[in-house]
Amino acid sequence: MGHPAFSVSHREQVAPMSFVFYVLAAVTLAGALAAVLLKNTVHCALALTVAFAGLALLYLELDAQFAGFAQILVYIGAVAILIVFAILLTKGSETPKDGVYSKNWLAGLAIAAGVFAVLGWAVLESARVLPGSGGTPTAAPAVTVLQIGNALMGRYVLPLEIVALLLTAALIGAVIVAMHEKEETR
Amino acid sequence: MTPLTGYLLVAALLFSIGLGGALTRRNAILVLIGIELMLNAANLNLIAFWRYGPHPEALTGMMFAIFSIAVAAAEAAVGLGLVIQIHRHAHTTDLDQMNRMRG
């Protein structure tokens, strides 16, 4: 925002990580942690919505406007609502008496910590081995929705059709799987 | 710390949080929530590499992320349908109690 000339010089001189990034990353990670750790399942779904919104704002911060708004539409508008519906249909909002964590939660926690250690080591080590890559604050790529639409209808038309087929199959499959059978249920 | 490193670290942390949730929770819906977080971490990686890559005008990473969002939506729909059907069948979504096929 602001004056264009100022923002360009700002982009070249400023320290690599911006304040906005730290705030958005903190919000996203806090939402994700709450979604995983909270006891009440409905609270988990709402915290997941916060994490999705933080991710959408991170996409906007990365100049990926289309992906950011698609994230808001698809994840906050559809997936989070779907999860809330599933929680209500399965009466999952009642907290079970014998704890919410699995019996072997310690092993799961150790595996997650190990995966994060490996990933973090790989990222930091590659940043050390290849300095200067990914750090250059290039100008924001001017990607318009027109270009994205042209690419979707031109170069990426076959994946687009396959995704359309997949979504149709998933729609029909989800309806058939979740459909109420008549005398089968107790 | 360069911007790309920051985004990659956030994505790695998000992936680990999702993995920990998927492995430690007992409710099947919470496991699906963990899987959704892992998919989103991958999308963040794709967008970050697209933004700081050498050719952002080629739109490759952005397209990959958009298709990944679509596939993740299909996965969520089918997964939650399966959870509802399992609940109807076994009257629970507790994964520790679904041990009928244990060998």
Distance separating alpha carbons of residues A167 and A161, to the nearest angstrom: 10
Min Cα–Cα distance to chain A from B83, Å: 8
| Structure confidence at residue B76 (pLDDT) | 92
Residue contact A86–B23, C-beta within 8 A: no
Task: Please classify residue A137 by burial: count the beta carbons closer than 10 Å to its beta carbon, then call 0-12 exposed, 13-18 middle and 19+ buried.
Answer: middle
Of residues A40, A39, A51, the one with CA closest to residue A79: A51
**What pTM, to 2 d.p., does this model score?**
0.86
Residue contact B73–A74, C-beta within 8 A: yes
Tokens for A65? 């406007």
Classified by CATH at the fold level, domain A14-95+122-137 comes out as: Four Helix Bundle (Hemerythrin (Met), subunit A) (1.20.120)
Distance separating alpha carbons of residues A28 and A53, to the nearest angstrom: 8
Q: Tokens 């406007």 identify what position?
A: A65
How far, in whole angstroms, is CA A33 from its chain's centroid?
Answer: 13
Residue contact B2–A109, C-beta within 8 A: no
Of A45, A74, A138, the CB nearest to B69: A74
Give this complex's ipTM.
0.92
Interface of A with B in 69-108 (CB under 8 A): 70-71, 74-75, 78-79, 82-83, 85-87, 89-92, 96, 99-103, 105, 107-108
**Per-residue pLDDT tens listing for chain A (186 residues):** 444 444 444 444 444 578 899 999 999 999 999 999 998 889 999 999 999 999 999 999 988 889 999 999 999 999 999 999 999 988 766 777 677 788 888 999 999 999 999 999 999 998 888 876 665 656 667 778 888 899 889 999 999 999 999 999 999 998 888 887 665 554
Tokens for A8? 């360009």
A131 φ, ψ (degrees, to nearest 5): -70, 150
Tell me the domain boundaries of chain B: 27-91
Tokens for B102? 């244990």
Tokens for A33? 């942690």
Tell me the domain boundaries of chain A: 14-95+122-137, 144-186
Residues of B within 8 A of A78 (CB-CB) are 73
| Structure confidence at residue A2 (pLDDT) | 42
Q: Say whether residue A157 is in contact with chain B using an 8 A CB cutoff.
A: no
> Mean pLDDT, chain B, as a whole number?
89
B27 φ, ψ (degrees, to nearest 5): -75, 130
End-to-end CA distance of chain B: 50
How many residue pairs bridge chain A and chain B with CB atoms within 8 Å of each other? 252
- CB B34, CB B20: distance < 8 Å: yes
Min Cα–Cα distance to chain B from A3, Å: 23
Residues of B within 8 A of A29 (CB-CB) are 10, 13-14, 17
| Structure confidence at residue B102 (pLDDT) | 75
The secondary structure of B27-85 as a DSSP string is: BHHHHHHHHHHHHHHHHHHHHHHHHHSS-GGG-HHHHHHHHHHHHHHHHHHHHHHHHHH
Interface of B with A in 73-92 (CB under 8 A): 73-78, 80-85, 87-89
Distance separating alpha carbons of residues B14 and B48, to the nearest angstrom: 14
Cβ atoms within 10 Å, residue B30: 27
Per residue in B14-56, pLDDT (tens digit) is 999 999 999 998 889 999 999 999 999 999 999 999 988 887 7
Tokens for A76? 């906050």
Distance separating alpha carbons of residues B21 and A36, to the nearest angstrom: 5
